[in-house]
Amino acid sequence: MSYFSTLDLIAIGYFLAVWIGYTYFADEIGPKKANLIGTMAAHRDAWMLQMLARDNRMVDLQIMRNLTRTGVFFASTSILILAGLVAIMGATEKAVSLFENLPLVSRLGPLEVEIRLAAMCLIFIYAFFKFAWSIRQLSYCTIQIGAMDPSSALTDDCNERCRYISQLATLAAKHSNRGLRSYYFAMALLAWFLHSFALIAAASLVVLVMYRREFRSKTLQILRESRPTKEVDGV
């Protein structure tokens, strides 16, 4: 613990508290306030109802495939970043000498640099698992769409099954969003190499940016105004 000053502990505690607190607020309370997650859930409900009315559902499977590609890209990127971080940890002495030549950077010993790099690795491991789980959930949605009754032979429980598919797709989006959110906080954690105060400031800035995009952005306003009804003619 001698390698952590009181300010370091305060900064890390603040960083974790802000991340966990914002995740709970955005994912659990936010949908009730019609943030991006809650608003897009309504669009997914409408999408699944439209899927029921289509004879050929290849367009729905193509949309699922495109969503999966996004998760695959970020999961692969997380692995590449992890490889780079592990490589840097294998050359800590060179990293320390590099940081010493940078202006406004705190003097860090080899172990302090390794601790910061290890924290970055944990974040991207977390991101990889979130994106990988999101990909699996979307694949389950694809299977359920393929198993849906044809539009000419819909049964009474098709609407209920379609609601479950929508919920599963929203859950996949939530995990993907958490993985993407970890990228934002990884950028904030880079400030820890500069100073503990910089980490506190960066974490605060990241939360403000994410809050504005998820709760106050022009994109959210447009999505709210174009929010579809949950009933489709002929279903």
Task: Answer whether residue 206 shows pLDDT above 70.
Answer: yes
Lowest mean pLDDT among 108-117, 194-203, 211-220: 108-117
**pLDDT band (50, 70, 90) for residue 106:** low
Task: Answer whether residue 25 shows pLDDT above 70.
Answer: yes
> Average pLDDT, stretch 170-180?
95
pLDDT (tens digit per residue) in 57-85? 899 999 999 999 999 999 999 999 999 99
What per-residue confidence (pLDDT) applies to 156? 77
Task: Provide the 8-state DSSP code for 216.
Answer: S
What per-residue confidence (pLDDT) applies to 104? 61
What per-residue confidence (pLDDT) applies to 53? 86
What per-residue confidence (pLDDT) applies to 103? 64
What per-residue confidence (pLDDT) applies to 197? 92
SS (H, E, C) 61-130: HHHHHHHHHHHHHHHHHHHHHHHHHHHHHCCHHHHHHHHHCCCCCCCCCHHHHHHHHHHHHHHHHHHHHH
Task: Answer whether residue 101 shows pLDDT above 80.
Answer: no
Most confident of 86-100, 110-124, 150-164: 110-124
Task: Answer whether residue 95 shows pLDDT above 80.
Answer: no
Name every residue whose Cβ is closer than 8 Å to that of residue 7 and which is 6 or more positions away in sequence. Answer: 196, 197
| Proportion of the chain in helix, strand, coil states, percent, rounded to 5 | 80, 0, 20
**pLDDT band (50, 70, 90) for residue 137:** very high
Using a pLDDT cut of 90, give the percent of the chain over it: 60
